[in-house]
């Protein structure tokens, strides 16, 4: 780390510290020109709380899987036949199809689900399969940066649509699609995170969901719905997913166990019509996900543990959200504006004019509090002046202290 600091770069390393029975990863940061500081309060990474990873249940499910399935759990594929090397374990696809089907009120078949190594991989697979040079893709003005990067890598043209308090400004969609067409590009895909959007935390209203699907129909484009925060709802159920509302087979839904079980599982999925799923399978360059892990997680889902865990998580994260909102009002009231998110992992802070964010960020970091600047997330320069705060991985007792440090750092960097 010292070496990195000497070279004048900024890098992250990780160190484990034991807290009770859980191993908590803290980030050690080396900042150009500063001594390395252990980050005791990490608001930066979109990580769910590691203290609530269901370690014991997962251990039991892995052991039970090995006892019940023996060597079959360790082969390239099992009962589902060789297609499991493209789509993934049929046992887990069955559970995912049943759960998504119940929630979204649609019958989902196992050939309409493809497993991926995290939804980052699922999103990469989807854009690689569905986009190419000459195609146009629309993303939200602030979005999940990796998807945007994957879209660029296909050679497709990207345009952004603004966001407001109700999510994507769907009214602007037609104009953006028209501009793509006028530039000789074929509009092909809309990528959206409609529920508890990252980074803004917004929820697309029911009416806008319907309008978005209507526009997608008019323009004959696919909609890639990133649904990875949907279950983390703290104020009752959010509006139905786009997949639930879609009658035309245009919605490709990406989802993940990362935020509701643990990101290190690297287990996620994409649901779409069987033909689209086959296109994703054809674009795949591996033999799908681990049979052992997929079967163990299928067991965890089938026995009802996932649903019970999500109910618990909602309570844990609602409490953290409330602690965060109170602390922000108390310590940052004059220098940031924010909306209390109804779900998900993030607060989206709008900085008051005159705040020099990079200076504030460096000050807070020197004191062990890490935050992410919006411009590394936004697909549009208008993202500057905003900060994404991810408080859920921070212990309850540290959230207030961390925000106090942040508030002082911002106040000292204003004007
Ligand atoms: C909007 C969005 N999509 C996808 C992901 C990727 O999650 P994973 O690859 O762990 O499933 C994230 C992670 O932060 C995210 O914020």
Residues 128-154 pLDDT 10s = 999 999 999 999 998 999 999 999 999
| DSSP E strands, 10-96 | 11-19, 22-30, 37-38, 41-42
CA–centroid distance, 24 to ligand 1, in Å, is 20
Ligand 1 atom, smallest distance to 268 CA: 11
Q: Alpha-carbon distance 170 to 180, whole Å?
A: 16
Minimal-distance CA residue to ligand 1 atom 7: 119
Ligand 1 atom, smallest distance to 46 CA: 14
pLDDT computed for residue 333 by the predictor? 86
pLDDT computed for residue 35 by the predictor? 46
DSSP 378: B
Q: Is the CB of 122 under 6 A from ligand 1?
A: no
pLDDT exceeds 90 at position 402: yes
Q: If you average pLDDT over every residue of the chain, what do you get?
A: 90
Record the pTM: 0.90
DSSP 37: E
Q: Is the CB of 280 under 6 A from ligand 1?
A: no
pLDDT computed for residue 381 by the predictor? 52
pLDDT computed for residue 357 by the predictor? 87
pLDDT exceeds 90 at position 280: yes
DSSP SS3 for 115: strand
pLDDT tens sequence across 1-46: 233 333 333 333 333 333 333 333 344 444 444 445 799 999 998 8
pLDDT exceeds 90 at position 174: yes
CA–centroid distance, 269 to ligand 1, in Å, is 12
Q: Which residues are CB-neighbours of 98 under 8 A, at least 6 positions away?
A: 108
CA–centroid distance, 415 to ligand 1, in Å, is 35
Contact 167, 197 (CB under 8 A): yes
CA–centroid distance, 50 to ligand 1, in Å, is 16
pLDDT exceeds 80 at position 358: yes
pLDDT tens sequence across 310-346: 999 999 999 999 999 999 999 998 899 999 999 999 9
Q: Looking at beta carbons, which pairs linking 50-56 to residues 24 or more positions away fall under 8 Å?
A: 50/22, 50/23, 50/24, 50/25, 50/262, 50/393, 51/19, 51/20, 51/22, 51/24, 51/395, 52/312, 52/313, 52/316, 53/22, 53/261, 53/262, 54/261, 54/262, 54/300, 54/305, 54/309, 55/21, 55/22
Mean per-residue pLDDT, 363-390: 75
Mean per-residue pLDDT, 371-396: 74
CA–centroid distance, 184 to ligand 1, in Å, is 32
pLDDT computed for residue 149 by the predictor? 95
Ligand 1 atom, smallest distance to 263 CA: 10
Q: Alpha-carbon distance 231 to 313, whole Å?
A: 10
Contact 12, 227 (CB under 8 A): no
Q: Alpha-carbon distance 200 to 10, whole Å?
A: 26
pLDDT tens sequence across 43-84: 998 899 999 999 999 999 999 999 999 999 999 999 899 999
| DSSP E strands, 64-209 | 113-116, 135-140, 157-161, 163-164, 167-168, 186-192
- Cα dihedral value 323, 329, 330, 334, nearest 10: 160
The closest of 90, 110, 91 to 100, measured between CA atoms, is 110
Pocket test for ligand 1, best of 96, 253, 259, 266 (most atoms within 8 A of CB): 259
CA–centroid distance, 10 to ligand 1, in Å, is 23
The closest of 268, 305, 260, 273 to 290, measured between CA atoms, is 268
Give the model's confidence band at 382: pLDDT under 50 very low, under 70 low, under 90 confident, else very high. low
Q: Alpha-carbon distance 283 to 86, whole Å?
A: 9
Q: Is the CB of 256 under 6 A from ligand 1?
A: yes
Q: Alpha-carbon distance 359 to 410, whole Å?
A: 8
Among 133-147, 170-184, 228-242, 361-375, whose mean pLDDT is lowest? 361-375
Contact 46, 144 (CB under 8 A): no
pLDDT computed for residue 24 by the predictor? 39
CA–centroid distance, 33 to ligand 1, in Å, is 32
Report DSSP letters for 304-341, one per residue: THHHHHHHHHHHHHHHHHHHHHHHHHHHHTTTEE----
CA–centroid distance, 348 to ligand 1, in Å, is 17
Give the model's confidence band at 250: pLDDT under 50 very low, under 70 low, under 90 confident, else very high. very high
Q: Is the CB of 88 under 6 A from ligand 1?
A: no
pLDDT computed for residue 374 by the predictor? 61
Pocket test for ligand 1, best of 198, 227, 229, 388 (most atoms within 8 A of CB): 198
Q: Which residues are CB-neighbours of 394 under 8 A, at least 6 positions away?
A: 41, 42, 43, 320, 402
Q: Which residue has the tokens 């199809």?
A: 97
Ligand 1 atom, smallest distance to 143 CA: 1
Mean per-residue pLDDT, 119-126: 97
Mean per-residue pLDDT, 209-226: 98
């Amino acid at each position: 780390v010292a070496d990195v600091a000497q070279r004048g770069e900024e890098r992250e390393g990780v160190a484990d510290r034991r807290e009770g029975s859980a191993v908590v990863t803290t980030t050690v940061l080396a900042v150009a020109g500063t001594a390395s500081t252990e980050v005791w309060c990490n608001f930066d990474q979109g990580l769910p709380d590691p203290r609530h990873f269901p370690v014991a249940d997962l251990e039991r499910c892995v052991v039970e899987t090995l006892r019940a399935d023996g060597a079959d759990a360790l082969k390239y594929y099992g009962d589902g036949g060789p297609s499991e090397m493209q789509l993934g374990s049929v046992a887990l696809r069955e559970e995912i199809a049943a759960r998504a089907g119940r929630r979204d009120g649609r019958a989902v078949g196992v050939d309409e689900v493809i497993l991926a190594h995290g939804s980052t991989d699922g999103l990469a697979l989807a854009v690689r399969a569905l986009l190419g040079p000459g195609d146009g893709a629309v993303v939200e003005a602030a979005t999940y940066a990796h998807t945007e990067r994957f879209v660029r890598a296909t050679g497709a043209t990207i345009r952004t649509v603004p966001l407001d308090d109700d999510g994507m400004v769907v009214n602007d969609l037609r104009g953006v699609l028209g501009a793509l067409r006028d530039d000789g590009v074929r509009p092909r895909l809309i990528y959206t995170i409609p529920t508890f959007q990252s980074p803004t935390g917004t929820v697309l209203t029911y009416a806008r969901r319907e309008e978005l699907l209507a526009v997608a129909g008019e323009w004959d484009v696919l909609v890639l719905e990133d649904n990875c925060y949907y279950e983390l709802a703290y104020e009752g159920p959010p509006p139905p997913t786009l997949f639930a509302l879609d009658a035309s087979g245009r919605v490709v839904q990406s989802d993940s166990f990362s935020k509701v079980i643990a990101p290190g599982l690297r287990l996620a999925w994409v649901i779409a019509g069987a033909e689209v799923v086959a296109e994703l399978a054809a674009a795949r360059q591996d033999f799908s996900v681990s049979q052992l892990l997929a079967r163990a997680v299928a067991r965890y889902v089938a026995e009802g543990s996932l649903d019970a865990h999500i109910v618990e998580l909602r309570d844990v994260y609602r409490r953290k959200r409330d602690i965060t909102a109170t602390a922000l009002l108390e310590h940052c009231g004059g220098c940031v504006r924010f909306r209390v998110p109804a779900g998900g992992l993030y607060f989206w802070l709008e900085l008051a004019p005159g705040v020099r964010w990079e200076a504030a960020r460096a000050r807070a970091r020197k004191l062990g509090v890490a935050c992410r600047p919006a411009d590394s997330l936004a697909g549009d320069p208008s993202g500057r002046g905003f900060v994404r705060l991810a408080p859920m991985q921070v212990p309850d007792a540290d959230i207030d202290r961390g925000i106090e440090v942040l508030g002082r750092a911002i106040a000292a960097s204003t004007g």
